[in-house]
Chain A
């Protein structure tokens, strides 16, 4: 198995680090799936109620990498699945973030000290015209072929209603406040483009309304789902990824599905509904 990719565009590097940072904050361990066209990050938490992955993120290799090469497990299964500890990557990236502008970032699959590693070779500018090479070897586990099925792409689902979310920053600040009141909130969407977020406690009931949202798809007149506020707020913290649009699909009482859409990547977040009755 071989893999190497090189990023030279500062925007791409920034975006890539942002996405990777987002992944590492949301889960303890993260799966990286490498195919000939795309790079996938999959975070799957065991406590997920539904069987689908919690986060599924696909990156277009052509956009991010100026040079790219990979050789999968075999010609039939020309893919690589590897697992890494999110914290290890987060450490590496924190250093990269502070130092700011890297000239280039090379990512390679290497074998050092008898364990497979994902090697980040970062070329940092130093002084006026020098450069400094920083190499991080992050140990990874290769996922055996028989377990690949655990990380299959989630099936396209048929939402009851699908709307575009309002500005994430706005939503985030509201969700942050609601989080202090209760653990759960009910999301309710209607076919007229109204999204309400309701928190109910013994003492108070708070509802925020977002109206005139663009409705992308409607099967039912309305749909609602109860979700865990902490998870929603964790995810909304990543508004700095600056997606072009965020689509929210709701499947009555079952699932809230957030989809970050951009030219170069898609990021899906599955929030299972809670049956509180």
Chain B
């Protein structure tokens, strides 16, 4: 992959990275024929976000890494990778100074060097060069379809942030109640907190306040504000409208924004599962226990219903294609884990080491490469051959306890 950006695009890219950094810890970079995709998933897998930068966004774009070794331009020369958010954030740290100094920016993923190279050409002939290490891996995918949502409304990002101002900054989750002619927001109060001790805030937004309002299903969804605030920070800086699509309680909400031709972004946020009737939840927990009792090392594909859906590298592509074509509705199963209230998203995730799946714990994925490295380095220590061998040597100081 090789691309060239001008100063304004760099600023947008930097803002996008800042936004993603507030959501997840790892940045997935995926060059395609139609542009560059940056993605992240948060640690609890409750928020997935993807920025798509289209070709007109770049001055020059080539998704295939230059290949000097192999002759045939194979599909494999498109490098998809992920890297820690911290490292890329350090490059785009200050949006203000980027804006002032950078004239053009080149981002390359050369095949030979295995580095993500970012080069800023700044004013006064200064060139800044960043080499970032990455992990090569398939990118994550979330299964969703924009047309499958019952309710959709959109308005300016300014409008959303003004609304959220009414809530205290410590508010973590907000419940959105959709009605035919209004949206009602209230802060979600945890079961653990005494309701008679906390402030309840409610905001009512009339239909007229929205740019576009189309609610087909009256419902109530609750989700975290943290990610929404990150999205708003991006959208507000660029004065974009934000579309919101909702389905129902427990099913993810989709926020999306678009700048015609240049870029678009989608944010899929998991919502809380409502505990409306106790019987349903209890039966579900029993189911879960059963599922959890299944030995984790059994075939991964058996776990298709509980979240997260994990597929190894080999079959992930075919399955994801099939899902995208067949499922119109966002396909998120019921929460399998009764300890976490927030649903996880159904994601197709890459595995770093598909061959190691036989004895890997199901929960532990992908194995941190550090540990793998450690295992390799210390493998001699763990081998049986390391057993203390009787080495015949002269005893200078005999064991004083030994002689009776």
Residues of B within 8 A of A92 (CB): 168, 199, 201
Residue-wise, chain B 335-357 has the 8 Å CB interface mask toward A (1 for contact) of 00000000000000000000000
The answer to the question of A115 belonging to the interface, with a C-beta cut-off of 8 Å to chain B, is yes
How many A-B contacts if CB must be within 8 Å?
A: 66
Contact A130 B206 (CB under 8 A): yes
Given A98-B165, A113-B196, A139-B196; A132-B201 close (CB under 8 Å):
no
| CB interface residues, B 188-215, toward A, < 8 Å | 195-206, 208-209
The answer to the question of B304 belonging to the interface, with a C-beta cut-off of 8 Å to chain A, is no
Contact A91 B198 (CB under 8 A): no
Instruction: State in angstroms the CA–CA spacing of A79 and B140 once bound together.
Output: 63
Contact B200 A99 (CB under 8 A): no
Contact B205 A132 (CB under 8 A): yes
Residues of B within 8 A of A127 (CB): 209
Contact A88 B202 (CB under 8 A): no
The answer to the question of B297 belonging to the interface, with a C-beta cut-off of 8 Å to chain A, is no
Given A98-B165, A99-B165; A115-B199 close (CB under 8 Å):
no
Contact A133 B199 (CB under 8 A): no
Other-chain contact of A134, B166, B168, B208 (Cβ < 8 Å) = B166
Contact A112 B200 (CB under 8 A): yes
Contact B200 A137 (CB under 8 A): yes
Contact B196 A88 (CB under 8 A): no
The answer to the question of A126 belonging to the interface, with a C-beta cut-off of 8 Å to chain B, is yes
Contact B203 A134 (CB under 8 A): yes
The answer to the question of A138 belonging to the interface, with a C-beta cut-off of 8 Å to chain B, is yes
A93 to chain B, nearest CB (A): 10
Residue-wise, chain A 94-119 has the 8 Å CB interface mask toward B (1 for contact) of 11001100000000000011110100
The answer to the question of B130 belonging to the interface, with a C-beta cut-off of 8 Å to chain A, is no
Residues of A within 8 A of B170 (CB): 91
The answer to the question of B167 belonging to the interface, with a C-beta cut-off of 8 Å to chain A, is yes
Given A133-B203, A135-B201; A115-B165 close (CB under 8 Å):
no
Residues of A within 8 A of B165 (CB): 95, 98-99
The answer to the question of A218 belonging to the interface, with a C-beta cut-off of 8 Å to chain B, is no
Residue in A92, A117, A134, A138 with the greatest tally of chain B CB atoms within 10 Å = A134
Other-chain contact of B209, A88, A126, A138 (Cβ < 8 Å) = A126
Instruction: State in angstroms the CA–CA spacing of A134 and B174 once bound together.
Output: 14
Other-chain contact of B199, A114, A132, A138 (Cβ < 8 Å) = A138
B138 to chain A, nearest CB (A): 44
Contact B167 A95 (CB under 8 A): yes
B167 to chain A, nearest CB (A): 7
A237 to chain B, nearest CB (A): 22
B14 to chain A, nearest CB (A): 27
Q: For residue A127, which residue of chain B has the nearest CB? A: B209
Residue-wise, chain B 165-189 has the 8 Å CB interface mask toward A (1 for contact) of 1111010000000000000000000
The answer to the question of B74 belonging to the interface, with a C-beta cut-off of 8 Å to chain A, is no
Given A95-B165, A98-B165, A126-B209; A134-B202 close (CB under 8 Å):
yes
The answer to the question of A254 belonging to the interface, with a C-beta cut-off of 8 Å to chain B, is no
Residue-wise, chain A 145-158 has the 8 Å CB interface mask toward B (1 for contact) of 00000000000000
Other-chain contact of A115, B166, B195, B205, B208 (Cβ < 8 Å) = B195
Instruction: State in angstroms the CA–CA spacing of A128 and B389 once bound together.
Output: 87
The answer to the question of B162 belonging to the interface, with a C-beta cut-off of 8 Å to chain A, is yes
The answer to the question of A136 belonging to the interface, with a C-beta cut-off of 8 Å to chain B, is yes
Residue-wise, chain B 133-151 has the 8 Å CB interface mask toward A (1 for contact) of 0000000000000000000
Given A99-B165, A99-B166, A130-B208; A139-B203 close (CB under 8 Å):
no
Other-chain contact of A133, B167, B200, B204, B208 (Cβ < 8 Å) = B204
Residues of B within 8 A of A135 (CB): 200-204
Contact B200 A88 (CB under 8 A): no
Instruction: State in angstroms the CA–CA spacing of A91 and B168 once bound together.
Output: 6
Residues of B within 8 A of A115 (CB): 195-196
Q: For residue A84, which residue of chain B has the nearest CB? A: B199
Q: For residue A99, which residue of chain B has the nearest CB? A: B165
Instruction: State in angstroms the CA–CA spacing of A94 and B166 once bound together.
Output: 8
Residues of B within 8 A of A95 (CB): 165-168, 201
Instruction: State in angstroms the CA–CA spacing of A138 and B206 once bound together.
Output: 24
Residues of A within 8 A of B198 (CB): 88, 139
Residues of A within 8 A of B201 (CB): 92, 95, 134-137
- Which A-B residue pairs are the 6 nearest by beta carbons? A115-B196, A137-B200, A91-B168, A135-B202, A133-B204, A134-B166
6 interchain pairs (CB within 8 A)?
A88-B199, A113-B195, A136-B166, A137-B202, A139-B198, A139-B199
Given A134-B201, A136-B200, 18 further pairs, Cβ under 8 A: A91-B199, A92-B199, A95-B165, A98-B165, A99-B165, A99-B166, A112-B200, A113-B200, A115-B196, A117-B200, A127-B209, A132-B163, A133-B203, A134-B166, A135-B202, A135-B204, A136-B166, A136-B199
Binding site for B on A (CB under 8 A): 88, 91-92, 94-95, 98-99, 112-115, 117, 124, 126-127, 130, 132-139
Binding site for A on B (CB under 8 A): 159, 162-163, 165-168, 170, 195-206, 208-209
